[in-house]
Amino acid sequence: MITRDPAAFLAFGRGCAPDFGPATAKAAFLVAPDGFARAEQSAADNRYMAEAAAFDAARACAQHRDLQRAMAAALPTVCFPGEPQSPDALFPNNVFATVPGRLIVGRMRHPVRRREAERPDIRAFFAKTLGYAVHDLSGQPHPCELTGALVIDRARGLGFCGLSERCDPDGAALMHEAFGLRATLMFELAPGEYHANVVLAVLAGRAVLLCPDGFADPDAADAIARLYAPHTIRLSPAERAGFAGNAISLNPETVWMSATAAAALAPATREKLARAGFRLQAIALDALEPAGGSLRCCVAEIY
């Protein structure tokens, strides 16, 4: 099922058992912020991106190494070098994603990021080292920025696709097929939002962080909230602006987000995370966040 009907999706989703696959990844990879700078093309539709003066490449690289070091204590984490001609290539989850045995390559909206999809080293790592097949969407015309636009409940095989300039309905359908999902709900993001994973995070298949003001359709937000009740955690505009929605579970017990995001959390939000069985892991990424994304954007999962 792929639909824009929140009620139909909710009815279907409630019948999906958490037997689709592992709720969290077995490994992850990052791309270093070499040549870190403001990408003007990306800034055209990313309101979270800062002005050029806020970019500090040395601090960004140091914080990125700290992120890899922390993640490596939780699961195997590979880091590929960055490319100076791709100044915002530190967000590989928009370009590369996996299901067991298969690498999916997305189609980026902006030309400055399309060159990332051509990287022979990342493709060879999966195809030759891991023996993964490659499902390549990068050459077709419809934008589909993978797990930036599409938030996935891996345990139940459910997708939540935010439509914007970065993903159109045809791109959503291509991703639904590529990931082999049971059902995908398509919904328009609120004006000014560019990716669903800034306003929505499914945590290990049993809880959800949800920013209601990031959805153009309140019925879509409500359907997702009802699907994950009682572990639905609604985030305030201030928490969203701090990137609290850009979080990820790297194992079933922990939710990872930036230190900026953690500092923005209300006490009630922290309590709800604890009640859902999550420990909070916060990493300082304030030098990376001027690029318009945060911790979850940096992480490409390997299933």
pLDDT score for 113: 86
pLDDT score for 123: 97
pLDDT score for 50: 65
Instruction: Tell me if 104 sits within 8 A of 179, measured CB to CB.
Output: yes
* Angstrom distance (rounded) from CA 113 to CA 246: 20
Measure CA of the first residue to CA of the last residue in the chain; give whole Å: 23
pLDDT score for 228: 98
Pairing state between β 183-188 and 158-163: parallel
Instruction: Tell me if 235 sits within 8 A of 214, measured CB to CB.
Output: no
CA-CA distances (angstroms) from residue 50 to 42, 180, 228, 290? 11, 36, 33, 5
pLDDT score for 154: 98
Instruction: Tell me if 101 sits within 8 A of 183, measured CB to CB.
Output: no
Q: Which two tokens stand for residue 239?
A: 């928490």
Q: Which two tokens stand for residue 241?
A: 């602006």
Q: Which two tokens stand for residue 142?
A: 């419809």
Digitized pLDDT (tens) for each residue of the chain, 303 residues in all: 999 999 999 999 999 999 999 999 999 999 999 988 777 777 677 778 768 888 899 999 999 999 999 999 999 999 999 988 887 889 999 999 999 999 999 999 988 889 899 999 999 999 999 999 999 999 999 999 999 999 999 999 999 999 999 999 999 999 999 999 999 999 999 999 989 999 999 999 999 999 999 999 999 999 999 999 999 999 999 999 999 999 999 999 999 999 999 999 999 999 999 999 999 999 999 999 998 999 999 999 999
* Angstrom distance (rounded) from CA 173 to CA 167: 10
Instruction: Tell me if 249 sits within 8 A of 278, measured CB to CB.
Output: yes
pLDDT score for 4: 98
Quote the domain boundaries for residue 100: 2-302
pLDDT score for 169: 98
Whole-prediction pTM value? Answer: 0.95
Instruction: Tell me if 151 sits within 8 A of 145, measured CB to CB.
Output: no
pLDDT score for 41: 78
Q: Is 250 helix (H, G, I), strand (E, B) or coil?
A: strand
Task: Kindly report the CATH number assigned to the domain that includes residue 39.
Answer: 3.75.10.10
pLDDT score for 214: 97
The count of structural domains within the chain is: 1
Residue 262, Cβ density class (10 Å: 0-12 exposed, 13-18 middle, ≥19 buried): buried
Instruction: Tell me if 105 sits within 8 A of 69, measured CB to CB.
Output: no
